[in-house]
Every structure is written in structure tokens, then in C-alpha cells.
Amino acid sequence: MVKSKCAIVPLVGAVVMAFATWQACCAHDAVAPLVNETPWIVPDINKLADDAWGQTVRRGRDLITKTSSLIGPELSDPSRRFAGNNLDCQSCHITAGTKKFGLPLVDTYANFPAYSARLGRVETIVDRIQGCMERSMNGKLLPPDGPEMTAIISYLKFLSTGRPVGAPAIGRDSGSMRELDRAADPAKGRTVYANTCAACHGIDGQGQRVGKIGDAKGYTFPPLWGPDSFNDGAGMNTLIAAANFIHSNMPDGTTWNHPTLSSEEAWDVAAYIDLQPRPAMANLDRDFPKKFEKPVDTPYGPYADGFSAEQHKFGPFAPIAAAIEKMKATKAGQK
């Protein structure tokens, strides 16, 4: 729902044209081939020698797959507690970050430094990892020169072996579904969740522990909301990211080219999950200092447009994107 109709009315003519352009850009469920795309190749970690480099890379992989056991909040040594929840990095970066369209870490190292709209500046690979620690892991910063950071970066560099810097590669994200022309519906999503997700993640969304609370062994199936989940500043708390991830990967065993859920089911269940309570991150109003660069599905303000927080959270997103493009064009014309 639009918060202020008066703020949008003067834009209607141009918004209609931009809206059509936005729909055309988002109209493909299938992934179109890229020109000169890099083949999807995951280097074999088992072929690394048992030397200092090989050991460091393997340590980095362990930090991705066993985060809760190595730097989680239940460790007996408080100085090693960097993560604030008991998720593992591979809760989102599936199969140690190697699964195609499973938010892989393959090729990540080769694409940093890179501009970050959220920071409003160029970020390094260290910045990116720290962002995950504070948001998805709901924790604190790793020592930038510490052994954990060194090991994670080494693993990311290994996964980029032979990858040209900046080369396009299909599979680096979680796909791009056709967007809905309606708001995603959490009520419908609740039914999808009960029928498809609850068997693993629990009807209460709290997941299934490997062992018991306090043993630092993490989860077989991670919690999707609640105090031990990602916080509200995490990327998975945005609808587009969550819906595409779910469509390409959930339930467990799903692949991007053989999805289990329909696209509408994925949008709706993502809306239901992201509606649930989770830890709050401080100072989210400082994200995206250039408000025109703020993604349309960012669920927290402030915003440059006149649309409500509810529409930013659940959509439809095309009218928002069209209005922002019009505002940007107007601003550029005033220079």
C-alpha cells in the first residue's frame, strides 16, 4: 500500500513506462545464458597437499561447515565466541558454499573489492565476511588479521581457483524468479510452511539440534526465526533473496532446475518466514546512505520513495522500482 498517494501522483506517466520496463527485466523464471560465461567448476579440496596452505584452506572450510562448533556462542572458551547464534555459514551457503544456486562462495574472492550499496563505498572481502558475522551470524567482528579470518579468506581464494576476475558465471546466487504482480501473502505461506517446511525446521521454526542446547554442536536443520536465527539486518530477511533461495534449494535436496515449490509458493512462504520475530540489529537506518540505491525489498526504512514499509517487505515491487527510476531520472536532469 502506498503511504502517500500525493507523493506519487505526479510520477504516474513515467512510472507506467518504467513499470513495463521493470516487468520485462523480471519476466524470466529460467536462467538465460550469459555471453562468455565461466563454466561452473568447484576445485577439489582433497587434492591439496597437507602443507601450511592446504591446512589453512581446510580450516577455512571447517569454519564454514562447523561454525557453531568453532566460533559459536556455546564454546567453553569465551574468547572464541564470535558468532552470536548456532547457525553454520553453510546454513545459507549450501554444501560448504559449493552448490550451484545455493548462495555459493565459488568465485566470491575473485569479485572483491567491489562497490557495496549497503555501505555506500567499495568493500573488501574482509568487510563482506564481517557483514555476515554481524548479520547472518548475529555476532561480532572477527579479528581482521586473526587465524579465523585468514582461514576463511584462504578457503574463498581456493574456491576461486582459475576464475577470471569479474567474469560472469551462472549459479553464483540463488536464481531470479519472475516477481509477483501482487503482494506476497504470509497467510498462504503459513500453509506452505506447515505442509513443506515444518517437518525439518519445526512448526515453531526453531529447527532441530544435533544434540542438546549448550553442546556447541549446532543444528541438523537450522532455526528460521527466533533468538538463535539470523537477525533483521541479514540478507535472508529480504523477500527476494529468501524466496529465490527457497525456490532453488528447499526442501533439502531440491535443485534450481528441479524446484519442489511453485514460484508463488516460494514467494508466500518466504513472506511468512520473514514476518516472524528475530533478533534486531542496531543502526539499520545507516544502511544504504544513498537511498536511491536501496533495494526495493529492504524491509526497513528510511526510504527515498513514498511507499510503505509493508510494500517494501512484501511487494509488489515493480511500482516501487519504477518510481525510484523516475526520481533518479528527474534528479539527473536537474544537474
What average pLDDT does range 272-287 have in this prediction?
Answer: 98
Q: Provide the domain limits for residue 122.
A: 45-159
Cα 149 from Cα 98, distance rounded (Å): 19
Q: Which residue has the higher pLDDT, 16 or 237?
A: 237
Which residue reads 528460521 in cell numbers?
224
| 154 and 114 part of one domain | yes
Cα 311 from Cα 183, distance rounded (Å): 7
| 230 and 313 part of one domain | no
Cα-to-chain-centroid distance, residue 13: 34
**Which is it for the CA torsion 92, 139, 237, 26, positive or negative?**
negative
**Among residues 144, 159, 174, which one ends one of the domains?**
159
Quote the percentage of the chain above a pLDDT of 90: 81
At 37 the pLDDT is 66
Task: For residue 180, tell me if it sits in a domain.
Answer: no
| 288 and 321 part of one domain | yes
The DSSP symbol for 195 reads: I
| 220 phi, psi to nearest 5 deg | -75, -45
What average pLDDT does range 92-115 have in this prediction?
Answer: 95
Task: For residue 209, tell me if it sits in a domain.
Answer: yes
**Among residues 108, 140, 159, which one ends one of the domains?**
159
Looking at this protein, which amino acid is placed at residue 153?
Answer: I
Domain count, the chain: 3
Task: For residue 172, tell me if it sits in a domain.
Answer: no
State the CATH number of the domain containing residue 258. Answer: 1.10.760.10
How far are the Cα atoms of 206, 247, 311, 318 from residue 176, in angstroms, in the given order? Answer: 27, 9, 19, 14
| 51 and 151 part of one domain | yes
| 49 and 137 part of one domain | yes
Residue 245 has pLDDT above 90, yes or no: yes
In terms of pTM, does the model score above 0.75? yes
Q: Do residues 149 and 82 touch, judged by C-beta distance below 8 A?
A: no
Looking at this protein, which amino acid is placed at residue 186?
Answer: P
How far are the Cα atoms of 22, 23, 71, 180, 181 from residue 27, in angstroms, in the given order? Answer: 9, 6, 42, 10, 11
| 141 and 78 part of one domain | yes
Per-residue pLDDT tens digits for 13-72: 333 333 333 333 343 344 444 445 678 889 999 999 999 999 999 999 999 999 999 999
Residue 273 has, within 13 A of its CA and on its CB side, a CA count of 34
Burial of 59 (C-beta count, 10 Å sphere; 0-12/13-18/19+): middle
Task: For residue 170, tell me if it sits in a domain.
Answer: no
| 320 and 292 part of one domain | yes
| 113 and 209 part of one domain | no
**pLDDT band for position 217 (cuts 50, 70, 90):** very high
Cα-to-chain-centroid distance, residue 273: 14
At 36 the pLDDT is 57
| 147 and 75 part of one domain | yes
Task: For residue 192, tell me if it sits in a domain.
Answer: yes
Cα 43 from Cα 48, distance rounded (Å): 10
Task: For residue 173, tell me if it sits in a domain.
Answer: no
Task: For residue 321, tell me if it sits in a domain.
Answer: yes
**Among residues 275, 301, 320, which one ends one of the domains?**
275
E strands, the chain, in order: 114-116, 121-123, 208-209, 219-221
| 222 and 146 part of one domain | no
| 127 and 207 part of one domain | no
Residue 92: closest CA among 244, 271, 257: 244
At 330 the pLDDT is 87
Cα-to-chain-centroid distance, residue 266: 15
| 246 and 326 part of one domain | no
**Most confident by average pLDDT, 4-18, 30-44, 157-171, 282-296:** 282-296
Alpha helices of 10-142 — where are they, by DSSP H?
A: 12-25, 52-65, 67-71, 94-97, 125-134
Q: Do residues 177 and 247 touch, judged by C-beta distance below 8 A?
A: yes
At 62 the pLDDT is 98
Task: For residue 315, tell me if it sits in a domain.
Answer: yes
